[in-house]
Amino acid sequence: MTNNMINKVLKNLAYMLYPKNVCPWDERDKYVETIEYKRLRKLIDSFDSEENIKIRNNIRKEFDNDAILKEFQDFSILDSSEDRCFTFFLNVFEGGTLLSITLYISFLVPYYVIRKGCHQAEPWFTKERIKELESENLDNRKIEDLILDIEKIVEEKLFYRKFPENLMHDIINDIGFQGVSLGHFKMYNAFFNNQNI
C-alpha cells in the first residue's frame, strides 16, 4: 500500500472518530454530542478494562527475556488526557547521560511510535550513582541498538507496524481534540495522544 493510500485510509478513520469542523473548546457541548466523539469515547472508556490491562501486561511480558528491556514500565494513563495509545517507558544511561525510550502503541490502529529522549540525571542520580549503574550494566548495546531490538519485538511478536514518519506531522485541518485546536491536529494526535512530538 502506498503512503498516499495509507494517508487516505487513516484520515477516513480519523473522520469516523473525531467530528469535522467542530471546535473542541468553543463548541464543547456540540462536540461531545457528535456521533464521532461518542464512538471515540466508547473506545477510550474501554482503556482501563480488565481486557486492556491484560493486553498491556502481555505487551510488557514480551520484553521480559531481555536484560535491559525487561525494565520497561507501563506509563499508560487515561485520566483526563484520553490517550489513544499504550505508553511504555524505559530509562537507560549511556556515556553518563540519562536517556529514555518511550514506546507508544495505538489501540485504534495497528501502529506504534518510538521516541528517544535525553534528560538531566541530577538531582535524581548523583554522578557516582550513574557510574555505578553503568558499571553494573554488562550489556553494551547503545540506545539505537535497543530501539532496533524494540522494533523487532513489536513488529515480529506483537504484529504492529511503525507509524509512517512522513505522515506523523500531517495536519488534519478540520479536526481538533481537547487542547489541540482546529488547524493544529496532526495525524499522530489522531491515533496516539495530544503530545506535540
CA distance 195 to 197: 6
**Cell numbers placing 107:** 489501540
Mean pLDDT value across residues 114-130: 80
CA distance 95 to 165: 28
pTM above 0.85, yes or no: yes
Out of 12-21, 144-153, 178-187, which region has the weakest mean confidence (pLDDT)?
178-187
Mean pLDDT value across residues 150-157: 97
